[in-house]
Structure 1
Amino acid sequence: METEANRLDRDGGFPEQAFAFLNACGAMTAPLPRRFGGLGAGTEPEAGDAMLRLLRLVGHGSLAVGRLYEGHVNAIRLIVRYGTEAQQQRAAEDARAGHLFGIWVTDGSDPLRLLVADGGLLLQGGKLFASGARHVTRPLVTAQPEAGPPRMLVVPLGVDRHARDTLGGVHGMRGACTGSCDFTGVRPGEDAVIGAPGDYLRQPEFSAGAWRGIAVALGGIDRLVDALRDQLRARGRHEGPHQLVRIGEALIARETAAMWASRASRVAEQPGHAEGDVIAVVGLARIAAEQAALDVIRLVQRGLGLGVFLQDNPAERVMRDLATYLRQPAPDETLCEAAGWFTTRDLPA
């Protein structure tokens, strides 16, 4: 994955080889419930630890692939959680056929609307920051109906879609092929609508899913810690006391993020936890992972010096990808809300 990611970062394009491998090894169907031939990873509580390890490994190979694969997992989870039995069965068939799912929920100046026209449903508007805009074939999108909360839909897409890749160029995560897609004029069937009005924003599921992004970011942290140790050893500088301090601090930061990721995944996946506990624990884990990643980036830059900013250094792309991947919305609000929740109660065991 890393070899392909380095090439795509320079030349552009979609990570075809990575997804061919993920499909061949069963990762694309792993999130499906076991009754549909999957492993239940990400959709059944007992397989939460397995999904954390899988996302972490994928993130180690390529954060861009990790972002796309995380979207695939998240979309399937929402369909399994809120969809009908027939919709779940269709999603399972599509996943087995090699379709890539994703979640596109960010609106631009022309928000996606769900209208009723000529006796059927009609979409107007589009989505921005759509990972795999020209390559995801089964995006789960949110659309605003004429009245009431947003609705979720799975919209089958082919090569004739009105989509384009990267919006004006991005600093990192170029391999995720993030862009925009215009759905104006698309007529989805009634069976494309997933769940009830407002299900996408329903808590704690809406906030709890962030732990899977944390797991992918943890893989990027792993890769940078590896790069720091490997390159210092190759230069014969790994025994200097200042470099040993950096290695030690990087390992501490990495393990801190790993422990928070594990805590968040278990609280989110195992039943019986209070809704507020789930949201707050995942929120704290998200901030802890961000702080750990930024610390590791700083330590790698100081430890390896100017050479780590050269494009042929494998750590250079990973730092850009990780810094971009971490830019999730409202970090200050997330931290304050979690701190407020646990001011009067302890974290769940």
Structure 2
Amino acid sequence: MTHHRGLTADDSVATAAAVAETLFADAAERDVAAAFPAAALRLLHESELMMAPFPVRLGGTGLVEPAAVDALVSVLRLVGGGDLSVGRLYEGHVNAVALVGRYGSAAQLERLAEDVRAGGMSGVWNAEGAEPAGLVPEDAGWRLAGRKILASGVGSVSRPLVPVARDGVTLMTLPRLAPGERADLSRWTAQGMRSTATGTVDLAGLPIGPDDIVGRDDDYRRQPTFFGGAWRFCAVQLGAIDRLLDLYRADLVRLGRGADPYQRQRVAACATAAETAALWVGRAAGMVAAEARPVAEILAYVGLTRGVVERAGLDTMEAVHRGLGLGAHLRPHPVERVCRDLATYLRQPAPDGAMADAAATVLASPEPARTLWRPA
């Protein structure tokens, strides 16, 4: 089925800018509820941002296509600035659609688009616990076994992309889940990102047919898109850094403290951190999309980007806390919630390993520093 609407990835950026302010206005209520943000996801559906990652022919705006990478950076940044929990869920949805589009069949992508158009959503559930996910042969297909942990959107994500092990390789599966099915949210007690509905999902017995297998053996782990895709969560984190700077300077102006030299010094530091992070994220996204450089160089740059964004987030939170004092730690000040969310979301897997691998690539390169990431 073909859907032509004439919208572009730039239209998605404009939509995200408007949606972000609505997300921010309601974020405190979602944080208190600490439940899946159903109303926020309905807003993303109504605004057509959930369809945006699909090709134009399927009713999207081609947001995950290489030529649209700058627009995707902006959309993720804006949604993250509205609400990091919603940004996390949206980034997972975008990632899943991109993986099906890259490695799956045209029919699989069309079926996923139909499901999303009908109100469904996707996400990527990869983290393994004590019972790793796998495939068990059964009749003409398979059934899933095991569990996934730290899966965002459990109980609400209807078409997750679930990588599983089979005979020493990783396969991507697209099971169907009913609302509330198989979800255990009891262990998600994090201080921030409370409305991501992150938990454990029991996969045992879910049927998987040939049409539910996406791509070939180990496609999920192909580089540079596997590790290189980390730039997307960096873009979401960047949105929260932007928001903190906006909240900080708004308070200084409201309180008449903008002329204080120490406050100005902090504002300058925050602005520098945000812009530095933005430049790194934009360049990392472009390098992954283009795939024009050696894989090791691309992954090294993305690894360094993770470190840059983490440092920018930590420095910005410290400066804002110092500048606003105790008030920034008291509800209902939005800085209190945004900092809790950002501090939690910055805790991504293996940050030291990412930096160590990047350093190894830099050490092994014969290029002078000025040409490490660009033509001589």
Same fold (TM over 0.5): yes
Q: After superposition, where does 1:108-147 map in structure 2 within 5 Å? A: 108-145=129-166, 147=167
Hey, what does 1:93 align to over in structure 2? 114
Structure 2: where are the runs of 5+ without partners?
1-22
Hey, what does 2:97 align to over in structure 1? 76
Hey, what does 1:194 align to over in structure 2? 214
Q: After superposition, where does 1:270-289 map in structure 2 within 5 Å? A: 270-289=290-309
Shift of 1:35: 2.9
Q: Is the 8 A contact 1:4 1:15 kept in 2?
A: no
CA–CA distance in 1 between the matches of 2:293 and 2:328? 43
Shift of 1:36: 2.2
Hey, what does 1:347 align to over in structure 2? 373
Hey, what does 2:8 align to over in structure 1? none
User: Residue 200 of structure 1 aligns to a residue in which SS?
Assistant: helix
TM-score, length-scaled by structure 2: 0.89
CA–CA distance in 1 between the matches of 2:106 and 2:294? 27
> Structure 1 residues 168, 66: closer, same or farther in 2, change over 3 A?
closer
> Structure 1 residues 288, 315: closer, same or farther in 2, change over 3 A?
same
Hey, what does 1:252 align to over in structure 2? 272
The amino acid across from 1:155 in the alignment is: P
1:181 to 2:201 alignment: yes
Shift of 1:80: 0.5
> Structure 1 residues 166, 253: closer, same or farther in 2, change over 3 A?
farther
Hey, what does 2:318 align to over in structure 1? 298
Number of corresponding residues: 347
Q: After superposition, where does 1:28-39 map in structure 2 within 5 Å? A: 28-39=50-61
Q: Is the 8 A contact 1:123 1:183 kept in 2?
A: yes
CA–CA distance in 1 between the matches of 2:350 and 2:264? 35
Aligned-CA RMSD value: 1.3
| Seq. identity, % | 44
Hey, what does 2:31 align to over in structure 1? 9
User: Which has the larger displacement, 225-234 or 240-249?
Assistant: 225-234
Q: Is the 8 A contact 2:55 2:62 kept in 1?
A: yes
CA–CA distance in 2 between the matches of 1:321 and 1:306? 18
Q: Is the 8 A contact 1:132 1:176 kept in 2?
A: yes
Shift of 1:278: 1.5
The amino acid across from 2:237 in the alignment is: A
Hey, what does 2:175 align to over in structure 1? 155
User: Which has the larger displacement, 239-248 or 109-118?
Assistant: 109-118
The amino acid across from 1:13 in the alignment is: A
CA–CA distance in 2 between the matches of 1:222 and 1:159? 34
Structure 1: where are the runs of 5+ without partners?
none
CA–CA distance in 2 between the matches of 1:135 and 1:266? 32
CA–CA distance in 1 between the matches of 2:141 and 2:220? 22
CA–CA distance in 1 between the matches of 2:278 and 2:332? 28
> Structure 1 residues 202, 248: closer, same or farther in 2, change over 3 A?
same
The amino acid across from 2:267 in the alignment is: I
Shift of 1:166: 4.9
The amino acid across from 2:373 in the alignment is: L
Q: Is the 8 A contact 1:165 1:178 kept in 2?
A: yes
Shift of 1:272: 2.1
Q: Is the 8 A contact 1:57 1:219 kept in 2?
A: yes
CA–CA distance in 1 between the matches of 2:353 and 2:310? 14
Q: Is the 8 A contact 1:39 1:47 kept in 2?
A: no
Superposed CA deviations along residues 160-186 of structure 1, whole A, max 9, x for unmatched, are 621122524111100111111101111
Shift of 1:326: 0.8
TM-score, length-scaled by structure 1: 0.96
Query: Where has structure 1 moved over 3 Å in runs of 4 or more?
Result: none
Hey, what does 2:18 align to over in structure 1? none
CA–CA distance in 1 between the matches of 2:229 and 2:192? 23
The amino acid across from 1:339 in the alignment is: A
Q: Is the 8 A contact 1:277 1:348 kept in 2?
A: no
